[in-house]
Amino acid sequence: MKKTLLICLLFGQMLLAHAGEHDAKRAAFKPGRIQAQADAISNNGSTPRLHSAIALIYDQQTQLPLYTKNPDALAPIASITKLMTAMVVLDAQQPLDEEIKIDVADIDTLKGTRSRLRIGMPFKRSELLRLALMASENRAAAALARTYPGGYNAAIAAMNDKAHELGMQNTRFLDSAGLNSNNVSTAHDLVKMVSAASNYPLIHQYTTAASHSVDGWRGRGMRFVNTNPLVKNASWDIGVSKTGYISEAGRCLVMEAVINQRSVIIVLLDSWGKSTRIGDANRIKKWMESNNTRVHMTARS
C-alpha cells in the first residue's frame, strides 16, 4: 500500500514538472516576449531600429546599400525637391550676383505656407539659393524657377530632364519647392540625386551652413537657420543636407556624411514624428560607429 502511494506521488510530481516546463515554453513564445527578444537583438546592433517608413543607407565606396527599408516605395519628397532646383539653376550658369525681386507669383497658393520674404524684396540669386537650401524657403525656390531661362515651366522641365539623366526613373517634379505632393521619388533614386548634388561646391556650402543673415526692409537684418540641426553638431561630418515636410510626405531628410571613416548617403522619408528623422539619423550614426558595419542589411517592412 505504501509502495503504491509512493509511486503515485512520484508520478504526480513528474506530471507537475512536465506541465510547468510546458507552461514555461508557452510563455517564452508569447508575442510580447518575441518582440522583446527582437528588440534586444536590434539594440545589440544587428540592424538600426528606424522609425521612418522609408530608409536607405548607401555606402559610396562599395556602391552597395548597408541598410534598406522600402527603398523602392514611391513617395512624396517635399522640400528634398530643392536640391534638384538648385542643381538646374547652377547648371544654367546664370549670374549669381544678379538681383531678383520677390514677386506675387512666388507666393504659395497650394499649401498657404508663410514666408519672411516679402513681395518686392531684392535678393541676389546666390542668396535665394542659400535660403532655399539652408532654410527651405519656398518663395526663394519659386523665384529661382521663375527667373530660370525660359521661365518657370522651363525650370520644371529641366528638373525632370536632369532626373532622367541621373537615372532617376521613378522620379517626377511638378514644382520647384516641393509643395506639390506629386513631386515623388524613391530612396534609390534620391541616393543618385544626393550623390550628384555633392559635386556642387555651393550646394555643399549652403546646405551645411548653420545660419545666414540677409537685409530686410529698411536695412533690418533677418536671420535664417538651417532646418537640419545636425549641421551644428560637431560630431557629424556632413557634406550635403536637405530636409522636407508636407503632410502627405511626412518628415524627410537626406544627407551625405562621413561616419566611421565611411562616406554614406542617408535617405529617410515619411518619419511620423517631428524629431524622428533626426533621431533616426543619430541611431544610424551610433549603429555604424559601434558595429563597424561591413555588410548589406535589409530591414523587414
Residue in the block written with cell 535664417: 224
Can you say whether residue 270 is alpha, beta or left, with left for phi > 0 and alpha for psi between -120 and 50 degrees? Answer: left
Alpha carbon distance, N-terminus to C-terminus of the chain:
64
Q: Which cell numbers in the block locate residue 154?
A: 522651363
Residue in the block written with cell 546592433: 45
CA distance 181 to 183: 5
Q: Which residues pair with 58 in a beta bridge?
A: 65, 265
Question: In a 3-state reduction of DSSP, which class is residue 266?
Answer: strand
CB 193 within 8 A of CB 267: no
Phi, psi of 243 (to 5 degrees): -105, 170
Using CA of residue 284, residue 183, residue 81, residue 272, what is the dihedral sign?
negative
Question: Of residues 52, 69, 115, 136, which has the active-site annotation?
Answer: 136
Residue 136 annotated to the active site = yes
Q: Which residues pair with 225 in a beta bridge?
A: 211
Residue 263 annotated to the active site = no
CA distance 50 to 116: 34
Residue 213 annotated to the active site = no
Contacts of residue 121, defined as CB under 8 A and 6 or more positions apart, other chains included, come to 101, 102, 216, 217
Helices marked H in the chain: 2-28, 31-43, 81-91, 125-134, 138-146, 152-165, 187-197, 201-208, 276-291
Question: Of residues 52, 79, 176, 198, which has the active-site annotation?
Answer: 79
Give me the active site residues, please.
Answer: 79, 82, 136
